[in-house]
Structure 1
Amino acid sequence: MLLALVSVVASAAVLPGAAQAAEQPTVKLSKSQAGTGGSITVSGDGWRSKALLMILICGQAVPSRGVPGGTNSCANADGRAVTTDTKGRFSKKLPVAEPPVPCPCVVHVATVTGAKAEADAIFQVAGHAVEPLPAEESGGRLSVLTDTRLEGSSGLLTWFGAPPARTLVFTVGNVGTSDIKNPVFQVGTSHGVFAPQWEEQQWRGTIAPGKKARIELPVELTGGAHGDYSVSLKYGGKVLAEQPWGVGRPWGVTLFWILVCLVVPAAVFRIGMALIDRVRPHRAAGRSVRAASSRLRLRLPEVTLRLPGLRTAPPEPPASSTLPWFTPDSDPGAAGRLSAPHDDNSTTPTRKGTT
């Protein structure tokens, strides 16, 4: 019973290490050598489930040292992307292409998003130049001691399209034999499967042999950037670390354009209706004024006749007021009207004398 218990405990102690070894990603090639224009089948196991991987042929690299020149020493145009299955396996056909630098070459497989993982397999491009790897510089050498991380957060302006910014924080140690003064690092940002865009940044300070230093370098993307990005750190031509960076979409910009599409047509419509309202009332008012003036003209004579204190001239008689059987000469009252006025009490002399 005691032996059985000890065996169970021993197996439990061994299983984590075996599981960890099984989780190490691996790469296998159908051919170890092929010429340009041909193709090989690249398969792998032990990768993360449903992980997006990038497969490249890179020069000046060996599995023990990785790819010191980064993706700049790889045939990026002929690379292939593949997604692992639920068990972390994949198989993909890769065309053979010459890398931009001489061999020794490897088939480099690395994750595009999420936690960093990579693996290499030795491969020879037939007919491609082969040169020895550059010797490692003696003296001071930097090595990343802790995992890199991005510190900071996006503000309100980033939500409206301002450039996202973070601070790349890492700790390096001098594993060489001499001091390193004011080291110059290269910080690169890449989007998806594209090669990083490198920018030199100098850190002010001195790192003595066997000492370490905490370094902070600013990282900034272009305005409106969103999606899955990767931040790489390189020193002395060697990539020291990579850090994924998921940048959210600037929804404020989308909201702004939605409001513009809604507000501008509504404003144009309101302005048009206001202009129509300013033109239409004048015509209606003109018609109402003309109608009121016509009604006033029709009722004015009647009103003036009814006003008590207003005297009006009598209407002129019509031209045909004289009776037809009278003429101006035969009118009986015409002679009386034509004679000069006189006094009835005065005497008129006659031939017979005064009466």
Structure 2
Amino acid sequence: MSHRTQVVVIGGGQAGLAAGYHLRRLGLDFVILDAQTTPGGAWQHAWDSLRLFSPAAYSSLPGRLMPPQSGETYPDVQHVVEYLADYEKRYELPVERAVRVLGVHRDGGLLRVETDSGTWHARASISATGTWWRPFIPNIPGQATFEGRQLHTAAYRSPANFAGQRVIVVGGGNSGAQIAADLAHDTRLTWVTQRPPRFLADNIDGRALFDAATARRRALDEGHTDTGGVASLGDIVAVPPVREARDRGLLKAAPMFSRLTRGGVEWADGTCAEADAVIWCTGFRPALSHLAPLQLRGRRGHIATTRTRAVDEPRLHLLGYGDWTGPASATLIGVGRPARDASREIAQLVRA
């Protein structure tokens, strides 16, 4: 089956919904194709204890404040999923599920979006697939010999699955700290980081991080010295569970090990630790395989962009993958502005 529209948005998570809000306000004809069976994007697959870094009012998509969660300063995952489902319904966004995009192709003056449910032809497209679907695990010697369980952040759900076990959590970012704090009470935990963990001051949350990212982008755009953005403040937001575990002395990080063994890990000095499980909290990469037919990747696999627009394919915008597609664009509060700007550029293109 073949369809035509002005704009195809690929991905129905927070970035796709923000784009849909602005496209609707501009009066464009569009569709949002989402591979998930239910609303909520990647949030519906996150671990049970995950909390936002900011209060609800500072974690909102454009046009609709996230309501506060009763009894919680920092909303939990289920609250976010419910908010996204309500947002989609409130603005009557045209989301098609479950539709998996297989590839985006040039087709004369249009872009042809091939899916497992038919083909869409559009004047422009916004890729908003995020990073959750492409977890990154570094290549460490001995991984194939380790006889315990190995999993990534994306597969972690609850400490109940590891009660009483010897668990090594790898990663000094927010996910590593939060999952280590989650496991610190009921497991024999070893937290491993590439460098000593850098906790942000306890009074810094997502509001300050968004301001820092925005200030950095503005400075770079105006030709000023790089402020360092969020990285200049630290790596780990001290949300209450992390703060509690840290203050109780449960989050003491060891340096990165040099290899895995059959029964655990080993450091360069010969020190060993036994483990039943290793959890890799080592980040994600942009999920962009559907754009491969456009051949936009450079030598290092990066797609060059001007703000959100692909340099070598001006009909394509990339939204929500991190600072390279807009300051803090991978966050709820940060994605609204680049979504607005991308939508305005697309409106100019399709109406030219």
Fold in common (TM above 0.5): no
Q: Which has the larger radius of gyration?
A: 1
TM-score, normalised to structure 1, is 0.18
More strand by share: 1
The structure whose RCO (Cα within 8 Å, separation 6+) is larger is 2
